[in-house]
Amino acid sequence: MNLSPAWVDFFERSGIQASHWSSVGARNAKDYEIVEYARKNSLVVLTYDLDFGAILALTNADGPSVIQVRSQNVAPGSLAPIVIGTVQRNQEYLLQGALIVIDESRERVRILPLRKE
């Protein structure tokens, strides 16, 4: 819910199936409900919210995969090429379960379940 539904169009134009939470769940859903829905449906969560990574860490979960955007400008017109490139390069990791943190200049991939480093 913290990113624009316009992201869906950018993903679909790149051949990546996508939906915005507002089209599948309650607007006031708790983060853990979104995580559980994504896990049960083998979906990847794209978010600006740090709580999703924390949920994965605290629960020692092996899914769902989460892509966490860390940028001041999270508009799809600005970040879509970076996010879509990250999805395309990391499909294997996203299928097995990963937390990917990205910003304008880099990406960091951590395989799930998260372990202390």
Tell me the mean pLDDT in the region 42-55. 96
Residue 12 falls inside a structural domain: yes
What's this model's pTM, rounded to 2 decimal places? 0.94
In whole angstroms, give the CA distance from residue 43 to residue 53: 15
Residue 117 falls inside a structural domain: no
Structure confidence at residue 116 (pLDDT): 66
Residue 78 falls inside a structural domain: yes
- The token pair at 52 is 């999703």
Question: What's 25's DSSP letter?
Answer: S
Q: Indicate the helix (H) or strand (E) that contains 100.
A: strand 98-102
Structure confidence at residue 1 (pLDDT): 73
Domain that holds residue 28: 6-111
In whole angstroms, give the CA distance from residue 109 to residue 39: 18
Structure confidence at residue 79 (pLDDT): 94
Taking 60 as the threshold, does the pLDDT of residue 2 lie above it? yes
In whole angstroms, give the CA distance from residue 66 to residue 75: 18
Number of domains present in the structure of the chain: 1
Residue 16 falls inside a structural domain: yes
